[in-house]
Amino acid sequence: MTCNKIILIFILIILFSVPAFSQRTKSSLSAGEQRHAERGLKHNRYFFTFINSTVSNSGTNREKELFTEAARRDLLARILYMKFQFHDAFIEVKKSQSILIDLMQIITAREKEGSTQLLNEFAPYILKSGDKAARKYLSLGYRSSNEAGKVMIMADNLPERNY
């Protein structure tokens, strides 16, 4: 009987010493901020990979300055993320993405103007040649240029919160 009493007392001690409700810890309260910061950092890695070659190969000095500033902000966000300061990391991610949006607008406008100018230079020679395939490619080039302009207008009208 004494063994059963000891086991019963042990079970009662365990039941009453452990709280029966879930505890809210600091780490569980910041889980949403961690998720948002992590997702933003993943998106930034893709954005930097996408825009890097254009800026490094044919970017102007202003574009390279913007790219460097965005990279600094992203690095700061990664450091803050590793320090478990998720809210501050997310703010830096958004600042970095805002700079990248401005940079992308500048690059897209420059590239659209350059491609349209090239199409305009080659158009007379293609039309004089009578080559049907070349004419088709010329019309596809103009169509792509117009499509890029439409996409730029739609992107400018997105809500500010939709990075």
pLDDT in tens, 39-80: 999 999 999 999 998 898 988 999 999 999 999 999 999 999
Note whether residue 23 is domain-resident.
no
Structure token digits, residue 157: 């009208």
**DSSP symbols for the chain:** -HHHHHHHHHHHHHHHHS-SS----HHHHTHHHHHHHHHHHHHHHHHHHHHHHHHHHH--HHHHHHHHHHHHHHHHHHHHHHTT-HHHHHHHHHHHHHHHHHHHHHHHHHHHHHHHHHHHHHHHHHHHHT-HHHHHHHHHHHHHHHHHHHHHHHHHTS-TT--
pLDDT given at position 155:
81
**Is pLDDT at 22 greater than 60 in this prediction?**
no
Domain with 133, as residue range(s), is 31-156
Q: How many CB atoms lie within 10 A of CB 115?
A: 15
Note whether residue 26 is domain-resident.
no
Global pTM?
0.72
Note whether residue 101 is domain-resident.
yes
Note whether residue 140 is domain-resident.
yes
Note whether residue 10 is domain-resident.
no
The number of distinct structural domains making up the chain is: 1
Note whether residue 162 is domain-resident.
no
More confident residue, 10 or 60: 60
Note whether residue 3 is domain-resident.
no
Note whether residue 52 is domain-resident.
yes
